[in-house]
Amino acid sequence: MSQSIFEMRAVIKRYGVGVTRIEALHIVELDAAAGGVMVLAGPSGSGKSTLLHLIGGMDRANSGELYVAGNSLHSLSTAELTVFRRHKVGFVFQAFNLMPNLTALENVMLAAEFAGLSSKEAKHRASALLERVGLTKRADHRPGQLSGGEQQRVAIARALVNRPALVIADEPTGNLDSKTGAAIIELLTSLKGEQSVIIASHDERIAAAADRVIHLADGRIERDEVPGGAPQKASV
């Protein structure tokens, strides 16, 4: 991994035009070292998901520079962004987003096959990851036959199958009970050192387990802190 997993300079994201235009995000400067766990915290509408989507290449900024895993996202074409997402980023969502007609194994394999792996290699990687998340015995079950926690574990295995530099998770415990959510937090934070992890969440337990917490308000950085340490200076 490079020294930084991402660097952001003068990034602005707007929605709408004219009198309906909203500046959803305005980040003067933000970067993160590779291999850690960062949490984006803040109330609804603060810009957490917008920032996550920009870093993951799911949306584009209106202006500014954004470098992720050595890629200049602000200068990539739409096709190049698709390749970037498939190979460099693993996604975990609140709603799991699994294919309901596929088994757990097939859901994980599908992401690998989209990235160009052979069926044999995709199955090998998917099986190993399902074992890692404790779902070997559930590999042939479809999402409707799995609990919420099990579905999220499948989603995490899917996020890891292409060995991404970065895993991003948007409210990964939002649809889970407290006990199940705690297990998902433990699983995500265990990735530290192997992958960089960025999580948008209201869950205070995730923030407590992170290396760094970025507090957002009205699309700007309100506070930048290390849990248990002194707040860092925020560029707003």
Query: Is the pLDDT assigned to residue 159 strictly greater than 80?
Result: yes
- Rounded to two decimals, the pTM is 0.90
H and E: helices and strands count for the chain: 7, 11
Average pLDDT estimate for 25-38: 94
Return mean pLDDT, the chain: 92
Quickly state the pLDDT bin for 228 (edges 50, 70, 90): low
With tokens 């074992």, the residue in question is 131
Q: Return the pLDDT at 94.
A: 92
Average pLDDT estimate for 117-129: 97
Q: Return the pLDDT at 24.
A: 94
Q: What six digits make up the tokens of 39?
A: 């949490």
CA 200 to chain centre: 8
- Strand ordering across the sheet containing 4-15: 22-33, 4-15, 63-68, 71-72
Taken in order 129, 55, 170, 223, the sign of the CA dihedral is positive
Quickly state the pLDDT bin for 229 (edges 50, 70, 90): low
Beta bridge partners of 129: none
Average pLDDT estimate for 145-151: 97
Average pLDDT estimate for 24-41: 94
Structure-derived torsion over alpha carbons of residues 187, 50, 236, 207, reported in degrees to the nearest 10: -20
Q: Measuring CA to CA, how many Å separate 120 from each of 116, 128, 133, 161, 162?
A: 12, 12, 20, 13, 14
**CB 61, CB 75: distance < 8 Å:** no
Query: Is the pLDDT assigned to residue 230 strictly greater than 70?
Result: no
For the chain, percent of residues with pLDDT exceeding 70: 95
The count of residues in the chain is: 236
Taken in order 169, 12, 212, 70, the sign of the CA dihedral is positive
Query: Is the pLDDT assigned to residue 109 strictly greater than 90?
Result: yes
Average pLDDT estimate for 104-121: 96
| CB-based burial label for 75 (10 Å; 0-12, 13-18, 19+) | exposed
**CB 61, CB 13: distance < 8 Å:** yes
Closest CA to 56 of 87, 28, 34: 87
Task: Tell me which range, 7-16, 18-27, 227-236, is most confidently predicted by mean pLDDT.
Answer: 7-16
Query: Is the pLDDT assigned to residue 58 strictly greater than 50?
Result: yes
Q: Which residues contact 202 (CB under 8 A, 6 or more apart)?
A: 41, 43, 171, 174
With tokens 């509408």, the residue in question is 45
- Give me the domains of the chain, ranges plus CATH numbers: 35-46+78-232 (3.40.50.300)
**CB 149, CB 184: distance < 8 Å:** yes
